[in-house]
Amino acid sequence: MENNVKEAQKNNYFSSLRELNRRRKDGTFKEIIDDWKWIFSYSGRYKPAIVFYVLLGVFGTTFGLAASIASKYLIDIITGYRLEKLPLLIVIMVGSEVFSLLFESIVNRISAKLSININNDIQADIFDKIVDADWLSINKYSNGDILNRFNQDISTVSSNAINWLPTIIIALYKFIATFLVILHYNAVMALIALASAPILLLSSSFLIKKQRNYGKKVREMSSKLMTFEAETFYNFDTIKSFGISSLYSRKMREWQKKYKDISLDYNMFSIKTNVFLSVISMLVGFGMFGYCLFLLWGGSITFGTMTLFLQQGSGLSASFNNLMSIVPNFLSSSVSAHRIRELVELPKEKHIEGSSALDEFAADGFKVSMRNVDFAYIEGETVLHSSDFDAAPGEIVALIGASGEGKTTIIRLILGLVHPVDGSVSVTSSDGREVMMNADTRHLFAYVPQGNTILAGTIEENLRMAKEDASEAELIKALKLACAWEFVEKLPNGIRSNIGERGKGLSEGQAQRIAIARAILRDAPVLLLDEATSALDVATERRVLRNIITSKPNKTCIVTTHRPSVLNMCKRVYRVMDTRVTELTEEESAKMAMDF
């Protein structure tokens, strides 16, 4: 496996050089430079770490060369039967081994801490920027793609941000120092050792295209297999309910066979490649060994010198390989940096200075308004046109309409996740101060979205997402207001009962009531319920809404629904239809409620 990796690195070298040349010709090389400027913007924060790595690498390389030279003289002492030097031999050998063990352990420990800290720092910084990205812009990327960039690409960048420059310096130092050590003892041997790495590299260059194709096929098939596995487990309930488990078991084996066939083809190709390259390496090694025997036979060198030549000849080849790997790593890091930059350079959320000044009026409640709003996710495809809306403290206001008409879009406008093309969406305090919706007004809202939003963990942990320091009494009160305490208190461990991902172990209605309790616990001035009572029976739905308004008379409650069962509880009812938001009269609302 290790040999395969080394050969792949060699093959990547020429491929990377061709890529760099292509980039230079088509003018995109500037993108690589810009990507690396971005990487170095992080490197500048860790200058002591870079110096630390360089010093460790230079010291380790120097110590390794010194140990090899010492071994040469020790071998000469033994082969020369100079027993008076034996105590010195033992001291040097034991001391060298102990020092190497301690040095390696300390370096590994410090390097591990440094690497983790740097990765965490960069990841935390990128996380903050992604979280603050414009909602529409960030939603153009799939969750899987964002996670892959956030983990894999950041890991690549964080490691190379620190290691890339030290790697170049250390590899060059090792290559030059090793060459000079061999040259000091024999110039011809130095040339033979120097020639081994280029010979290996040139002999493997014709295999680049085929190896890359195999590697691409294996990665693609691995991704397809993982996609099948993830989708299967995510939709496990649906598969079981349709009784098609055997079908998916058969599909699993089919994907496994495809992956196995491609992997074995790649394995055979790798074996043949490894044999071919090993034969060349062996011939070069035999050449070095033969020349060493020739010199040894003629008395030009000692056994110790021969050992040094063979050992450092291999080291010279290894250091050359390290230098070769710099170009592929250079490109790989650039690609990862570019992928991350696409996320962190997305437009940021809108922040309006002074929004926090509204906080002192939270107890009085807030009025939420839309005025003459036009909105479209995609230019030319209007979702809302010339629409108005009002909801005041102490009111339950309903948004009704068929699915897909734009009710959830209005919620997003109110939360400041998206912004109107024309018109305004604002929040107004009791003193008449009006602020346009933005990221800094969002903390004034508690939101229960569509779908199941319960996370794996205890009921208590799910509730504390809204208020970490809430007392147990506050948790129970919120559950009671949401009509959830009646079933939670019957659970074996009450609020400390564990529930599975997406509320497994609870009914849809129970999961919705816990989500509503979480929003109530947040105790924000405005409560948004987006189809949040769809799984409740009519009586429970009405009771939950009545509890909310009764407990907090100044709370503004906005409900989206396609069920008009609670319309006679609402101060105002707006219908969303054909891109327009229209307020219904009391007669129209009453008629819809009676028809239901």
Q: What is the SS3 assignment for 523?
A: coil
Chain centroid offset of residue 25 CA:
33
d(CA 400, CA 181): 83
Structure tokens at 387: 């629409």
What is the pLDDT, as a whole number, of residue 371? 93
Residue 467: exposure state from Cβ atoms within 10 A (0-12, 13-18, ≥19): middle
What is the pLDDT, as a whole number, of residue 369? 93
What is the pLDDT, as a whole number, of residue 425? 92
d(CA 357, CA 340): 35
What is the pLDDT, as a whole number, of residue 200? 55
Structure tokens at 426: 């604002």
Structure tokens at 531: 């189809």
What is the pLDDT, as a whole number, of residue 375? 92
Numbers of helices and strands, H then E, in the chain: 20, 12
* Contact criterion met (CB below 8 Å) for 213 and 270: no
Residue type, 329: N
CA 141, 147, 152, 157 dihedral sign is positive
DSSP states of 331-386: HHHHHHHHHHHHHHTSPBPP--TTGGGGGGGGGG--EEEEEEEEE-SBTTB-SEEE
d(CA 227, CA 219): 12
Task: Give the closest residue to 540 by CA, choosing from 512, 572, 568, 570.
Answer: 512
Hey, which residues does 367 pair with through a beta bridge? 428
d(CA 17, CA 201): 13
As a residue count, the chain comes to 596
**How many other β-carbons are positioned within 10 Å of the β-carbon of residue 300?**
12
What is the pLDDT, as a whole number, of residue 422? 93
3-state per-residue secondary structure call for 538-556? HHHHHHHHHHHHHHCCCCE
* Contact criterion met (CB below 8 Å) for 88 and 19: no
- Strand order, beta sheet including 580-583: 445-448, 526-530, 556-561, 396-400, 572-577, 580-583
Task: Give the closest residue to 339 by CA, choosing from 20, 22, 39.
Answer: 39
Task: Give the closest residue to 316 by CA, choosing from 64, 12, 52.
Answer: 64
What is the pLDDT, as a whole number, of residue 391? 92
What is the pLDDT, as a whole number, of residue 182? 76
Long-range contacts of 294-297 (CB under 8 A, 24+ apart): 295/186, 295/189
What is the pLDDT, as a whole number, of residue 281? 64
What is the pLDDT, as a whole number, of residue 17? 46
- What are the start-end ranges of the H helices in 186-298? 187-204, 208-234, 236-241, 245-297
What is the pLDDT, as a whole number, of residue 222? 67
d(CA 332, CA 312): 30
pLDDT by position in tens, the chain (length 596): 444 444 444 444 444 445 445 544 444 457 777 777 887 777 777 778 778 778 877 877 777 777 777 777 777 777 765 666 667 666 766 776 677 677 777 767 777 777 777 788 888 888 988 888 888 888 887 776 777 788 878 887 877 777 777 777 777 888 788 778 777 777 777 777 666 556 555 554 455 556 556 655 765 676 677 767 777 776 776 677 667 788 888 888 988 888 888 888 878 877 776 677 667 667 766 777 777 777 777 777 777 777 777 777 666 666 666 665 565 566 667 777 888 888 888 889 899 888 888 888 888 889 999 999 999 988 878 899 999 999 999 888 988 888 888 888 999 999 999 999 999 999 999 888 999 999 999 989 988 887 777 887 888 888 888 888 889 899 999 999 988 898 888 888 888 988 877 767 788 888 888 888 998 888 889 988 887 777 777 788 888 888 888 888 888 999 887 766 677 788 888 988 888 988 887 776 666 666 55
